[in-house]
Amino acid sequence: MHIHDRPLSERVFHALAFEILAIGISAPLAAWITGRSVFDMGVLTAVIATIAVAWNMLYNWLFDRLQARIGFDRTYGIRVAHAFGFEGGLILIAIPFVAWWLDISVWQALLLDIGFVLFYLPYGFLFNLGYDKIRQNLITTD
């Protein structure tokens, strides 16, 4: 099975695994860095994660379709571009909620979101790289 032919169940698993691990790391870290409560940052990261799960499935489905159409390999450079594209889209979607939830300006929300991106870019790159390798090993051994 080619990676762009993944079933919906695998896409859901991939997105949920990505977000659950990310929340577990980022919410306490964000609370510590910003001085906000773990509750505020936990709700913030959980809502953004929920948005991100939907965005993740759509974005990766589009990414897979693009790969099927153009035929590129998933090189490190492609994974870097993939991570930047995903996070850029998520920023545009998330900033209004961040500003509202924390009662801060859109500018402050953008700055905070940049902090999240500084976490999520390497995290997304490493998570997806690892996921691809684990998936390839599982499929090869079947």
**What pLDDT, in 10s, does the model give residues 79-92?**
889 988 988 888 88
Is residue 1 in a domain?
A: no
Selection from 58, 53, 24, 20 nearest residue 41 by Cα? 24
- Tell me the residue type at 16: L
Give CA separation, 27 vs 16, 31, 66, 122, in Å: 16, 6, 33, 16
Residue 2 resides in a domain: no
Q: What count of residues does the chain have? A: 142
Overall number of domains in the chain:
1
Decide if 141 is inside a domain: no
pTM of the model: 0.66
Asked if the structure places residue 142 within a domain, the reply is no
More confident residue, 102 or 56: 102
User: Is the predicted pLDDT of residue 54 greater than 70, yes or no?
Assistant: yes
Residues 6+ apart with CB under 8 A from 30: 36, 41, 44, 45, 115, 116
